[in-house]
Structure 1
Amino acid sequence: MQPLLVKDIRKLLQGELINGSELWKVRDAIYYNRHELTKRRTLMFVSRGGTVNWNEINNKGPSLVITDLPATELENALPETTVIKVNSLVQAYWKFIEYYRSLFAIPVVTITGTCGKTTTKDMIKHILSKDWNVQASESSKNEPRRSFPYLMGINEKTDAAVFEHGLGNSGNIKHQCMIYQPTIGIITNIGVHHLDGCKNLEGYIRAKSEIVEGIRKGGTLILNADDENTQKVSLQSFKGKVIYVGVKRQCDFRASNIKFANRGMDFTLQVNDKTYEAFIAGYGEHQVYNALAALAAVHEMGMTIEEAITRLGTYQNMTRHLEFFNGKGGSTIIDDTWTINPTSIEAALKVLDSIGHGKNVILVLGNINRLGNFEKKYHREIGTMVAKRNIHTLITIGNKAEEIARQARQDGSMADIHMFKDVNGLKEVLDPILDSNAILLIKGPMSSRSMIDFANSLKQDH
C-alpha cells in the first residue's frame, strides 16, 4: 500500500477525530473481521454489529479505526489506536476506495470466464514481469472479499495489475469491478458453472457480463470470438474498444496451424496482415485461447507482438493443469485436478483425442460441484461426451459422478466402467492396467484432497 497520512484520510472522509494522533501514516488497510489484522500501521474499517477487540487493535498500534459505531462503544479505544468517526461506514469505505484507486494511472486487467482465468492471469503477469512491477491476485484465490486487500497491494512502484474475478453469485463481479476499476477486461469463455448461485445458464451469463459495465470509460474488452455463450453478452452499453481472439472465425488475434509440440502447442498468430510463429507451454487448443487473450492484453498495454511472443515462450504451465508425468509401469499420467466443470472436461477430452491414438486410455472423473438444480443434466451430458470417444476404462469417484458412468453405459460406451464413492479400492483396479501403453487422465475438484493425493501417488518419483 502507498503510505497515507491519517490527517489526510480524515479530511477525505470528513470524519471526526475521536481518539489518538492523526500525524502518522498508514501502510495497510483492511475491513475488520473480514480480513486478518497482521500489521502495524493498519487502517481498518470497523462496522456496527461485529465484535471489536480493542486490545488486539492496540497491540498492532499505531492503528487507525474508521467507524460509525456509537460514541459509547468508542470509549474503549486505547492509546495506540486512532479513531475517526464517520456518518456512514459504507460511504466512507467506497470513498476511500475511489480515492486510492485514483492515485494510480496504470493498466489494470481483470479476467473472468469459466475456464482459463488463472492461467491467462499468470501468462500476463509472466510476460510483463521482466521489466514491470506487477500486482496480481494469488493463484486462483479470487473471492470478492480478497479484492480490497489486492487493491491495497498496489503502490507507487506498481506498473500494472492483473486480477481474476471470483463468481459465486450475481453481483460478485460488479462488486469487484467497483474496487478494481479495470482498464482492460477479459472474458475467456462462458460454459456452465455456479448455477447454484446464478439459478440457470442465462443467469450465469448475465453474472459474467457484469464485467462489461465494470470497465473504465474508454477501456478495452477482450472476448473469445468462437465461444457461443460469450456471443450472448450484450455490448450495447459498452463505449470502449473490443478485441476479439479466436481460432475458427476471423478476428483481431487469430491462431491457426495449431499443433502439439514438445510440452506445449505451436501455432501461427495473425494480427492485422502480419503473421508470427508462437509457442505456449501446456497442451490443448484451450491453452492457445488463453495465450491469445494474454497476448492481446499486453499488446494493448504497449508491448510489441514479437516481444510478447518471445516472453510467452518461457512461460511454465501451472501445476495440476493437464500436467504430464511418468507413471507406474511406464504409463503416462495427466494430472488435471485443479478444477472440474463441463467446459474444462471437454477441453481435457479433446487433448486425449489428440494424444490417445493407439493407447489404452483411462479416464478418472470426480464430482462436478455447484451445478444447482442442473446437476444430473450436466453430469449426464459428460457421460454422453465420454461414450462418443475411444475410452477403454472409465472410473468415476463420488455420488454425483455416478451419473456420468450410468449415462456413458446407456449411450453404448465400450469402456470398462467402474463407480467408486471415494478413492478407496481404486488402486486395485488401476495397478494391473498401468503399463507403457496406458495413458490416464485424472480430473476432479480442487476441494478433493483425496483425489489430488491419489493423482500424486500415481506419479513416479513424486
Structure 2
Amino acid sequence: MKPIAVNDIRKLLEGKIITGPVNWKVEDAIYYTRHDHTKRNSLLFANRGDAINWVAIDKKGHSLVITDKSSINVKDVLPNTTVMQVASVVQSYWKFINYYRNQFQIPVVTITGTCGKTTTKDMIKHMLSVTWNVHASESSKNEPRRSFPYLMGIDEHTEAAVFEHGLGNSGNIKHQCMIYQPTIGIITNIGAHHLDGCVNLEGYIKAKEEIIGGIKDGGTLILNADDQNSKKLRIHGFTGKIIYFGTDAKSDYRASRITYGKGGMDFVLHADRKEYKVFVQGYGEHQVSNALAALAAVHEMGMDLKDAISRLNTYKNMERHLEFSNGKNGCTIIDDTWTNNPTSVEAALKVLDKVGKGKKIILILGDIKRLGNFEKKYHREIGSMVAARNIHALITIGEKAEEIARQAMRDGSTANIRMFKDVSDIGNRLDHLFDNQSIVLIKGPMSSRGMIEFARSLKQ
C-alpha cells in the first residue's frame, strides 16, 4: 500500500479524531470483521455494531480505527491506537476505496469465466513481469472479500495489476469491479457453474455480465468469439473497445493450425494483419484460448506481440491443471484436480481424445458441486460424453458422481464401471487397472483434499 498520512485520511473522510496520535502514516487497510489484522500501521474500518478488541489492536503497533459508533469509551483505547469517528463507515469505506484506486493511473485487468481465469491471469503476469512490476491476486484465491486487500497491495511501484473475479452469487462481480475499477475486463468462457447461487444458466450469464458495466470509461472488453454463451452477453451498452479472441473468423486474435506439440500446444496467431508462430505449455485447445486472451490483454497494454510470444514460451503450466506424471505400474497420470465443472470435464475429455489414442483410458471422476437444481442434468450429460468414447474404465467418487456412471450405463458404455461413495474406500482396489498402456485422468472438486491426495498417491 502507498502510505497515507492519518490527517489526510481525516480530511478525505471528514472524520473526527476521538483519541490517539495522528503524526504517522497508514501502510495497510482492512475491514475489521472481514480481514485479519496482521500488520502494523493499519487502518481498520469497524461498524458501529462490532465488538472491538482494543488490546489485540494495540499489540500490532500504530492502528487507525475508523468507526461510526456513536459513543466510544476512550479509557478502553490503548496508546498505540487512533480512533476516528465518521458518520457512516460504509460510505467512508467506499470513499476511501475510490480515492485510493484513483491514485494510480495504471492498467488494471480483471478476469472472469467458468474456466481459465487463474491460468490467463498467470500468463498475463508472466509475460508482463519481464519488464513491469505487476501486482496480482494469489493463485485462485478470488473470493470477493479478498478484493479490498488485493487493491491495497497496489503501491507507488506497481505498473500493472491483474485480478480474477470469484463468483458465488449475482452481485459478486459488480462489487469487485467497484473496488478494482478495471481498465481491461476479460471473460474467458461461460459454462455451467454456481447455479445454486445464480438460480440457472441465464442467471449465471447475467452475473458474469456484471464485469461489462464495471470496466472504467474508455476501457477494453476482451471476449471469446468461439464461446456460445458469451454470445448471449448484452454488450450493446458498452461504449469502450471490444476485442475478440478464438478460432472464429471474426476474432481479432485468431488461432489457426493448432497442433499438439511436446508438452504443449503449437498454433499460428493472426493479429494486426500478421502471422506469428506460438507455443504455450499445457495441452488442449482451451489452453490456446487462454493464451489468446492473455496475448490480447498484454498487447492492448502496450507490449510488443513478438516479445509477448517469446515470454509466453517460458510460461510453466500450473500444477494440477492436466498435469502429466508417471504413475503406478508404469501408467500415465493426468492430475486435473484443480477444479471441477462440466466445462472443464469436457475440455479434459477432448485432450484425452488426442493423447489417449491407442491407450487404455481410465477416468476417475468426482462430484461436481454448485450446480443447484441442475445437478443430475449435468452429471448425466458427462455420463453421455463418457459413453460416446472408447473408455476402458470409469470410476466415480461421491454420490453426485454416481449419476455419471448410471447415465454411461444407460447409454451403453462398454467401460468397466465402478462407483465409490468416498475416495477413502478405494485403497488399492484399482491397482490392477494400471499398466504402461494406461492413461489415468483423475478429476475432482477443488475442495476435496481426499481427491488431491489420492491423485498424488497414484504418482511415482
TM-score range, shorter chain: over 0.9
Specify the alignment match of 1:202 in structure 2: 202
Whether contact under 8 Å (1:325, 1:334) holds in the other structure is: yes
Alignment-mate amino acid for residue 293 of structure 2: A
Specify the alignment match of 1:343 in structure 2: 343
Whether contact under 8 Å (1:226, 1:249) holds in the other structure is: no
Whether contact under 8 Å (2:424, 2:450) holds in the other structure is: no
Partners of 2:386 and 2:217 in 1: CA distance:
45
Q: How does 1:173-184 map to 2 (within 5 A)?
A: 173-184=173-184
> Structure 1 residue 58: deviation in Å?
1.2
User: 5+ unaligned residues in a row in structure 1: which ranges?
Assistant: none
> Structure 1 residue 71: deviation in Å?
1.7
Specify the alignment match of 1:65 in structure 2: 65
* TM superposition score normalised by structure 1: 0.98
Any idea what SS the aligned residue of 1:424 has? helix
Specify the alignment match of 1:85 in structure 2: 85
Moved segments of 4+, more than 6 Å: none
Q: How does 1:312-327 map to 2 (within 5 A)?
A: 312-327=312-327
Percent sequence identity over matched residues?
69
Q: Deviations over 1:166-224 (max 9, x none)?
A: 00000000000000000000000000000010000000000000000000000000000
Q: How does 1:94-109 map to 2 (within 5 A)?
A: 94-109=94-109
Q: How does 1:183-222 map to 2 (within 5 A)?
A: 183-222=183-222
Whether contact under 8 Å (1:189, 1:230) holds in the other structure is: yes
Specify the alignment match of 2:119 in structure 1: 119
Any idea what SS the aligned residue of 1:9 has? helix
Specify the alignment match of 1:141 in structure 2: 141
> Structure 1 residue 249: deviation in Å?
3.4
Q: Deviations over 1:30-89 (max 9, x none)?
A: 000210011110001011222210111111121101110122455522221111100011
Specify the alignment match of 2:286 in structure 1: 286
> Structure 1 residue 250: deviation in Å?
2.7
Q: Deviations over 1:345-378 (max 9, x none)?
A: 0000000001111100000000000001111111
> Structure 1 residue 118: deviation in Å?
0.3
Whether contact under 8 Å (2:109, 2:163) holds in the other structure is: yes
* Higher mean displacement: 384-393 or 345-354: 384-393
Specify the alignment match of 1:255 in structure 2: 255
Partners of 1:294 and 1:55 in 2: CA distance:
47
CA distance 1:425–1:55, change in 2 (3 Å): closer
Any idea what SS the aligned residue of 1:71 has? coil
Partners of 1:109 and 1:3 in 2: CA distance:
23
> Structure 1 residue 248: deviation in Å?
3.3
> Structure 1 residue 340: deviation in Å?
0.2
> Structure 1 residue 318: deviation in Å?
0.2
Partners of 1:261 and 1:350 in 2: CA distance:
15
Partners of 1:203 and 1:73 in 2: CA distance:
47
Whether contact under 8 Å (2:133, 2:159) holds in the other structure is: yes
CA distance 1:369–1:103, change in 2 (3 Å): same
* TM superposition score normalised by structure 2: 0.99
Partners of 1:172 and 1:74 in 2: CA distance:
37
User: 5+ unaligned residues in a row in structure 2: which ranges?
Assistant: none
Partners of 1:425 and 1:192 in 2: CA distance:
29
* Higher mean displacement: 247-256 or 257-266: 247-256
Partners of 2:370 and 2:407 in 1: CA distance:
20
Specify the alignment match of 1:415 in structure 2: 415
